[in-house]
Structures are given as structure tokens and as C-alpha cells.
Amino acid sequence: MSSAADAKQIILDRLRSQVVTAPPLPSLQNEDVITFADLQGQFCETSRSVGAACHVVHSPAELTTILNDLEPFRRARRIVSLLPQWVPGNTDLQNFDEPHSLRSLDWMIAPGLFGVAENGAIWIDFSSISHRASLFLTQYLAILVPAKNLVPHMHAAYERVGRAITQPFGLFVSGPSKTADIEQSLVLGAHGCRTLNVFLLANPEAE
Amino acid sequence: MSALPIIEHPRAAAEFVANRERTRWHDKALWFVREKRDRMVRTIPEWEWLREMASQIKTHTIANLAEYLEQFERSATAAGAHVHWARDAEEHNTIVLRILRENRAQRIVKSKSMLTEECHLNPFLERHGIEVIDSDLGERIVQLREETPSHIVLPAIHIKKEEVGDTFHQHLGTAAGASDPKYLTEAARDHLRDKFLRADAGLTGVNFAIAETGGIVICTNEGNADLGASLPPVHIASMGIEKLIPRAIDLAVFTRLLARSATGQPITTYTSHFHGPRRDLSGQQTGQLHLILVDNGRAQIRDSPEFREALHCIRCGACMNTCPVYRRSGGHSYGAVVPGPIGSVLSPTIDAKRHKSLPHACSLCGSCTDVCPVRIPLHHQLLAWRKELAARRLLPWSKRLAMKGVTFVFQHPALMNWMGKMSRMALRWTPRPLIYHRWNDWGKGRELPIPPQQSFREWWVKNRGAGSAEVQSAHETDRHRRPKEE
């Protein structure tokens, strides 16, 4: 224990022995940061460019129709739905003590709090999700985001997250898991979800 | 650790360079990534502002590093994480082993962390009977082949898919001769899922650590870090002390820069924020989070005004992808954990003698400085290293002698003119075998230029000198203009 305390003190003393002066932190205020006239269009375009399928939907029925058109969804045996009022699931995360039992999870349908137009990222709030591993174990992932909750860029995104950032876990997800580690050939479905379907819930006023 | 051999970059690169077809393939693969980066950067009008902000944030943080480290420790501890401090690689490895033993962990999964490569953690743990599985696909390939990563973002960029196929056939039982990346990736997914589910602990690196909130951020495309940090009950995250950023809002700047610079993506697939250990919905702790803060030479780099900015590095690898030397010589030729321009700056700060050839593995083209998202003046630092190595008498005698000779010639203009004339003549008239032979490095793999008829100096005297026609007419113009202006 004493040696561990020493290591800290030695590192800090070493750093303090060399006084370095620098200006204060910049404010990050910038009027000229990128904006998009059509947030929804931009978000969908970027989302597709990172390998996701992006659908604009108006009702649960519409969403179900799209899902049922997907072969992996029709074949799915274990489905977790965190939006049961939209899509019924058949597996409840809260019934599992260990995330390991979720290894055979086929589909997960989760709510996204908001999306970022510049990079297709969606913020997932985990404060009501038992087993954060579920989002990475599931073979296929679908996320529903209200179109009115789109922000243009990451500056607005972190502002939007605010103090919620200090929750044990928080995530931006942009597209399905992927790798290009074998000769730079892009393969979707590395360790996480094989596909990502993003459903943008249309903004009634904008229609 | 035993005394390490001195790396001679040209010799280490010789084998790679000898295979011209492979060199060209490697060069093209990396240039492809560089071009993706360029396309992505052009979509952000405020790119230069972002680089400037990143540079200012890092400059400020490194200056006040002790204060931010203490703030980070306070907030991380308040969130329930265990914070450990390690002065060097050995202390870091000992801490990891102690945590694993305390938790009776035998099998661990690791996601990409250049710091653990730097600390040679894998061989250390294996010597102590721990099974270590690298879970990033590229790193797993490299691990199965008993190699080391040749790039910090693309660890297996030097390996061809047929070779991956052979490795997987041998270790994972894939079909002989199969080399389809999709098929091989699927095999690795199955193999590693199993490892994730059986692991007793997960080790990850850290991309950013937030001083004000005590959280860490990890960016991956594969999702391996998240599985490793979410399935086993123990998560150990190792980070260099330079990974700190002061505020959560600073993440906006760095997440916008990182993936665009690294692979030409707008952001990585997963950007995960960890604050304290895993908890269930009632707030009950269900896992452990250990954060290890490692110095291992970083404070020493901070001491040096010349090289301090190298600590701004966010490990995107853009300087490697653009470097004409790296692209053609391969990452292994650097004999260092971090290759390429940033590696050639960092490695000699740890051991100048061992890495003395690296600052010369550079044409000073400056492309690395242009693409660096945090504006590290890389080629200036490489030049500064050359000066430093000369001052420490670490240059080979051949280079030292040549420098002395050149210094003498530069101080004697008449001698220099005469030598210039001689070499122009010599280059024109000397038979080829006397120029292109194995002792003349400048004649290897390239044609020397056809020497001009006259030197620039001779041209100047004739065209711009006091007696030249053009100068006469310029004087005329000048005389006519002057009265008007008055």
C-alpha cells in the first residue's frame, strides 16, 4: 500500500517540479460550426453511409411492417424489446441475473434519446436497461429515435447529454459493428450487432 | 528487461522493401485510408478550428497535468472506481497481476491498448499463467501469428488475407485456402464470443479520461471493448497520464477529430462512456472498475519544451498513413511499439541510443504535421531530434564525418563552387557502374538527376547579376518610376 501511495506522490512531484505555463481553456464557442438545413435528411444519409438502414416511420404498424420484411427478424427466436408498445418482445432483460445468459439473443429493439446528423450517432441512455452487455451481444439491433430529437453535431450532442454523462454507462452508436482489419475490406458484424436498423419517428409538425 | 538491440531502420526495412510488389500493395492500402480521411475532413468547414481547439485543450491540460490528475482521481473514486498509479511498465504490470489474483481471474480478454503493448503486458501475464486473448480482430490475427502490431490503428495492415486464412485454418479450423474476409471475420467472431463469455476479467485501453467527471471514454468499431468491459465482473482500464481532458464538452472536439483522422469515418461505431463500475437498476454495484494511471516516461517528455507537444497525441495513426517512409517500409521496420512519425519522436525520448536511427527515417516532407488532428509539429520535432542526436554524439561516424565535410565546404564558397562544377561534370561523364553500385545509397532504387548545364549561381550572375541585361532594364524602370511616386 505504501509503495502505491509513493508512486502517486512521485509522479505528481515530478510533474510539479517542471512548471509549465499555458493559456486557460478555450471556450469552444463558435458561430460557424456546421449546420444542416435538413437535419433528418442529413442524419439518414450519414446513418446509411456508416452501414445502418435508416427508415422514417409514423406509427408502430409501419415499423412492424418493415421489421417483418427482414428475414433475420422473421427467423428471430429471442427478442428483447425495450419498446413493447411498439414491438412485442419475448425476453425480459430483468429476468436474468447474469448477462452471460443473453448469449443467444437474436434481436433487440431499443430507444435512442437523440441522434447526431453529422455522424449518424445515437445516444443510448442506459438508466433503464438492465445488462448493458445486451446491446453488444444481440445479433441484430434496431433503435427508434424521435426525429424531433436530432442535433447537428457533437458539440450540441454533449450539451444535450449534460449531467447524464456521469451515469455508469452511456453510449453513442453509429452504424453496425464493423471491421476492416483483413486487407482493409469492410465487414459488417464484427463482435457487436450484425446490422443496425434505425427508425426515425417522424415529426408531426414537419410533415 | 534485457538490453535491447539498437534499431537500424534502413537495415530493418531492407527485407520489406526487397519485395516490391508487397511494398506497393502496403503503400496503396495506407494511401487509401489517407484519401478516405481527406474526403471526410473536407466535409467539415471548421476543421482547422477543431484542430486549434484540440491543441489548446491539450496544451492547457499538459501544463496543469498534476492538478487534473488529482481532480480525475477524486471524481473517479467518488463514482466508485479504484484508481491506481504506476511509475513505469513494471509497476503497471504488477498492479494488473495483483488485481487479477485478488479476483482469481485466470482468463482475460483484452481490447486494443497501445499502452499495454508498451508495457509488454501480455508476455508478463502469460509468464504468470494467465490466458490473455486479444479481442480486436487485427490484434488477434497478430497474436495468433506471434507477431506484433505494425500500425496502432490497423494492427494487421501488413498481413495479406491469404496469410490470415492460413493462420485461421491452423488455429481456428477454418477451411484450408479460404481467404474471404467476411468468412474469416465470421470465424473470428464465433471464436472470440466464446472467449468473451468465459473471461474472468476484461482489459481495455482508454481514449479519453475526463477530469471533471472521473469517467473514461473508449472508441471502437468492433464492439470488442464493450463486450470485454460488460461481461466479466472485473474491468481494468490502463491509460497513460496524458489521456486526460478537463471537461466533458471537450469530448465533442476529440470525437469529431479522432475517427475522421484515423480511418475516414465520421465517428467510431461505438463511443462508450464509463463512470465507475457496473451497477444494476437499483444502483447496486455488480462489477469492479480499476483505472491504472501510467507515467512510463511521459513526465520526462513533458519536461522538454521541444518535445512536450508529442503528449497531445490521440493515437489516430494519420501520420503513419500519410508518411511516405512508413508506407514503403512497414511498421515493423521501426522496431518500436509506436511506429511512424509520432513513434520516431516518442521512442528516442525513452531510449535515444536504441532508437537513434528513427528521426532519420523521414524525408522532412511535413505531411504528418499537416494531417495531425492535434497539430503536433511532427517534422519539426524530428528535425530537432537529429540536432539532439548529433549533440549527444549518437550519429554514426560516417554521418558525422560527412557533416564535418559539408560544414567545411559550406564555409568556403570558392571550394563549394568548384566542387559543384566537378560533380555536375562527374555525374554526366562517369560510367554508370561507377555511380550505381552497392556502396552508393543515393543510386539505389532510383535514377540520379541529369545535372543542369550551369549552377543556379552561374545562372544568377548571367541573368540577374550587375552586368546582366535584365538588371540594366530594371534599373531603367526604377529611375522612371521614382519621380512619380514623390
The pTM of the full predicted model, rounded to 2 decimals, is 0.92
Torsion angle, alpha carbons of A140, A146, A151, A157, to 10? -60
- The angle, 0 to 180 degrees and rounded to 10, between the axes of the packed helices B20-42 and B250-263 is 140
Mean pLDDT over the full length of chain B = 93
Domains plus CATH for chain B? 44-296 (3.40.50.10420), 397-473 (no CATH)
Provide CB contacts within 8 A for B429, sequence distance 6+.
none
Contact A184 B302 (CB under 8 A): no
Whether B74 has its CB under 8 Å from any CB of chain A: the answer is no
Residue A206 to chain B, least CA–CA distance (Å): 26
CA atoms within 13 A on the CB side of A66: 20
Q: Are B193 and B365 in contact (CB under 8 A)?
A: no
Contact assignment for B222 to A179 by CB distance below 8 Å: yes
Residues of chain A with pLDDT under 50: 1-2, 207
Size of interface A-B (CB pairs under 8 A): 246
| CA-based torsion, A39, A45, A46, A52: positive or negative | positive
**pLDDT above 80: residue B1:** no
- pLDDT over 90, % of chain B: 82
User: Does B53 touch chain A if contact means CB atoms closer than 8 Å?
Assistant: yes
How confident is the model over A156-200, as pLDDT tens digits? 999 999 999 999 999 999 999 999 999 999 999 999 999 999 999
ipTM associated with this complex: 0.97
Q: Distance (Å, rounded) from C-alpha B73 to C-alpha B291?
A: 9
A35 close contact with B: CB closer than 8 A: no
Closest by Cβ to A165, choosing from B213, B227, B253: B213
Domains of chain A: 38-201 (3.40.50.10420)
Could B227 and A18 be called an inter-chain contact, meaning their C-beta atoms sit closer than 8 Å? Answer: no
The region, left, alpha or beta by phi > 0 then psi within -120 to 50, assigned to residue B340 is left
> Is the pLDDT at B222 greater than 90, yes or no?
yes
Interface test with A, best of B269, B273, B274 (most A CBs within 10 A): B269
Give Cα separations from A78 to A38, A73, A106, A133, B38 (angstroms). Answer: 37, 10, 5, 15, 42
Q: Which helix (H) or strand (E) holds B234?
A: strand B234-240
Cell numbers describing residue B108: 482475460
pLDDT at B466: 77
Nearest CA distance, B215 vs chain A (angstrom)? 7
- Among A181, A186, A195, A196, most B C-beta atoms within 10 A, so best to mutate, is A181
CA distance A193 to chain B (A): 8
Least confident of B199-213, B261-275, B407-421: B407-421
CA distances (Å), A107 to each of A94, A96, B66, B282, in order?
16, 16, 46, 25
Tell me how far apart the alpha carbons of residues B82 and B290 are, in angstroms, rounded to a whole number.
5
pLDDT at B340 over 90: yes
Where do the H-state alpha helices sit in B43-88?
Answer: 47-63, 65-78
Chain A, window 131-160: residues with a beta carbon less than 8 angstroms from a chain B beta carbon: 131-133, 135-137, 153-155, 157-159
Who among B86, B247, B273 is closest to A171 (CB)? B273
Q: Which three cell numbers stand for residue B271?
A: 463511443
Query: Which of A132, A168, A193 shows the shortest C-beta gap to B276?
Result: A168
Q: Do B275 and A11 touch (CB under 8 A)?
A: no
Q: Report chain A residues whose CB lies below 8 A from the CB of B227.
A: 133, 136-137, 191-192
Mean pLDDT of B427-433: 85
